[in-house]
């Protein structure tokens, strides 16, 4: 899996390293894509988490189970993070997901809302990469 450059971590007074919210969001997506959704949810999701994916109920458990099932069905899936932006309690991650080798992929944007260092809300939008497009700039 590909990730954005730069650590973005900060050091606290006790010499402990605290991940940026951007790093947490990327870690969450990478773990989910690689079949470790349960670990991702336990490590990064806060109490009262809700999401806005219209294909599933809006709670953490339902989304986590769907991500686990997707990873089982697509063991060769690859997540390529293209860019990530952090603004206060919001993080946006633009990614390309390849479901199987040779796949054109899907362009995804995930928007995370944080409370402290925990994800409490998630929006996701996806668009398949078309075979042809009049746009010479592409999706990535």
Inside any domain, residue 78: yes
pLDDT at 109 over 70: yes
* Structural domain total, the chain: 1
pLDDT for the residue numbered 22: 97
Q: Which residue has the higher pLDDT, 23 or 5?
A: 23
Mean pLDDT, residues 42-50 taken together: 97
pLDDT at 14 over 50: no
Q: What domain range includes position 35?
A: 18-128
Mean pLDDT, residues 39-57 taken together: 97
pLDDT for the residue numbered 19: 81
Contact by Cβ (8 Å): 96, 128: no
How many other C-beta atoms can be found within 10 angstroms of the C-beta atom of residue 28?
24
d(CA 59, CA 116): 19
Burial of 19 (0-12, 13-18, 19+ CB in 10 A): middle
pLDDT at 18 over 90: no
Inside any domain, residue 9: no
Inside any domain, residue 71: yes
Inside any domain, residue 8: no
Q: What CATH number is given to the structural domain containing 32?
A: 3.10.450.50
Mean pLDDT, residues 83-87 taken together: 97
């Amino acid at each position: 899996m590909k990730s954005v450059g730069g650590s973005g971590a900060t050091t606290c007074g006790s010499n402990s390293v605290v991940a940026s919210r951007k790093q947490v969001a990327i870690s969450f997506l990478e773990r989910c894509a690689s079949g470790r959704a349960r670990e991702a949810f336990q490590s990064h999701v806060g109490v009262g988490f809700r999401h806005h994916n219209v294909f599933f109920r809006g709670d953490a458990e339902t989304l986590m189970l769907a991500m686990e099932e997707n990873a089982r069905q697509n063991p060769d899936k690859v997540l390529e993070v293209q860019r990530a932006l952090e603004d206060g309690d919001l993080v946006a991650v633009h990614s390309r997901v390849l479901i199987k080798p040779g796949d054109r992929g899907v362009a995804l944007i995930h928007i995370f809302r944080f409370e402290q260092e925990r994800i409490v809300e998630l929006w996701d939008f996806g668009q398949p990469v078309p075979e042809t497009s009049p746009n010479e700039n592409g999706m990535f």
